[in-house]
Amino acid sequence: MINNIPQIKHTQSGNFFLMAGPCVIESEEIALRIAERIVGITDKLEIPLIFKGSYRKANRSRLDSFTGIGDEKALKILNKVSREFGVPTVTDIHESHEAALAAEYVDVLQIPAFLCRQTDLLIAAALTGKAVNVKKGQFLSAGSMKFAVEKIQDSGNPNVILTDRGNTFGYQDIIVDYRGIPEMRSFGVPVVMDCTHSLQQPNQSSGVTGGKPALIETIAKAAIAVGADGLFIETHPDPANAKSDGANMLHLDLLEDLMVKLIRIRKAIS
């Protein structure tokens, strides 16, 4: 696991860990409602949890797409989730100057896939002392991610997580190469499978990203089977009306059953 994430529970359970929550912080009420459900499930099943929520969405196809409710307002909601439920939180940052601000409120800083080669951004995240989760660019090989790890570790921060979110396949689809999970684990860092973004269908003519949420269970099962340390899942009680990425989210009502199935797979390969 990662050494400097406070409050992480059930580290002795032998389970994978889960990074889960809404795509973006839409409101305090929705964030707390989602967090309460996820924490109830993960406590029951002894799955270590890091609650996920973007305080702002910078990568949008259209100018009129929802980007957030305000940076500091959303970050304070993430901090409230952490305090009320006793779980660590993760959010993504997009520019170097955002690292210090976000680090005041969350436990893990996430580097979006499109930005995983941005040296100044990786260094800024590393220098906060927080754990850094770097999403593998869909345009990169798994082996290339060792350089992202080195940039962070050489900046004095050993706490790195790598997250796979698939590889670009043509212009409007993504596929997952599961060989990348053991390859990135060989770098000595935890590796996570992003089970929702890896099912995106980007660059749709409408300007709104599509997805294949019916395959989330398939992606998750395969990832656990090949040894992923953790899973990243965006979930919402009403994906059809979520403010961002609803097309590839897992309905919150389906989360517990999926986790039970995945625990069985984890035990079978242990």
Pairing of strands 174-175, 131-135: unpaired
Tell me if residue 111 falls in helix, strand or coil.
strand
pLDDT beyond 80 at 106: yes
Work out the pLDDT band at 205, boundaries 50, 70, 90. very low
pLDDT (0 to 100) of residue 204 = 53
Indicate the range of 2-11, 39-48, 72-81, 87-96 predicted with least confidence: 2-11
What's the rounded Cα separation, in Å, for the pair 80 and 106?
10
For the chain, give the mean pLDDT.
91
| pLDDT beyond 70 at 36 | yes
CATH number for position 203: 3.20.20.70
Q: Is residue 2 part of a domain?
A: no
**Is 50 exceeded by the pLDDT of residue 231?**
yes
What are the angstrom distances between the C-alpha of 172 and each of 161, 185, 205, 219? 27, 28, 10, 18
Question: Would you say 21 and 38 are in contact if contact means Cβ atoms under 8 Å apart?
Answer: yes
Between CA 23 and CA 196 the distance in angstroms is 10
- Let me know if residue 146 belongs to a domain: yes
Neighbours of 247 (CB within 10 A): 19
Provide the H-helix boundaries in 190-254.
216-225
What is the number of structural domains in the chain?
1
Q: Which residue range forms the structural domain that includes residue 33?
A: 17-265
Asked if residue 167 is part of any domain, the answer here is yes
Task: Spell out the residues 6+ positions from residue 246 whose beta carbon is closer than 8 angstroms to its own.
Answer: 23, 236, 239, 240
User: Does residue 64 surpass a pLDDT of 90?
Assistant: no
DSSP conformation letters of 47-110: --EEEE-BS-----SSTTS---S-HHHHHHHHHHHHHHHT--EEEE--STTHHHHHHTT-SEEE
pLDDT greater than 90 at residue 210: no
pLDDT at position 1 is: 52
Say whether pLDDT at 120 is over 50: yes
Q: Is 134 helix (H, G, I), strand (E, B) or coil?
A: strand
* Cα 34 to Cα 93: distance, rounded to the nearest angstrom: 22
Confidence at residue 242, expressed as pLDDT on a 0 to 100 scale: 81
- Give me the pLDDT at residue 58, please: 75
For residue 9, being part of any structural domain is answered with: no
Q: Is residue 104 part of a domain?
A: yes
pLDDT at 73 over 80: yes
Whether 10 maps to a domain, the answer reads no
Tell me how far apart the alpha carbons of residues 15 and 260 are, in angstroms, rounded to a whole number. Answer: 11
Average pLDDT over residues 204-233: 84
Helix 28-45 vs helix 255-269: crossing angle, to nearest 10 = 30
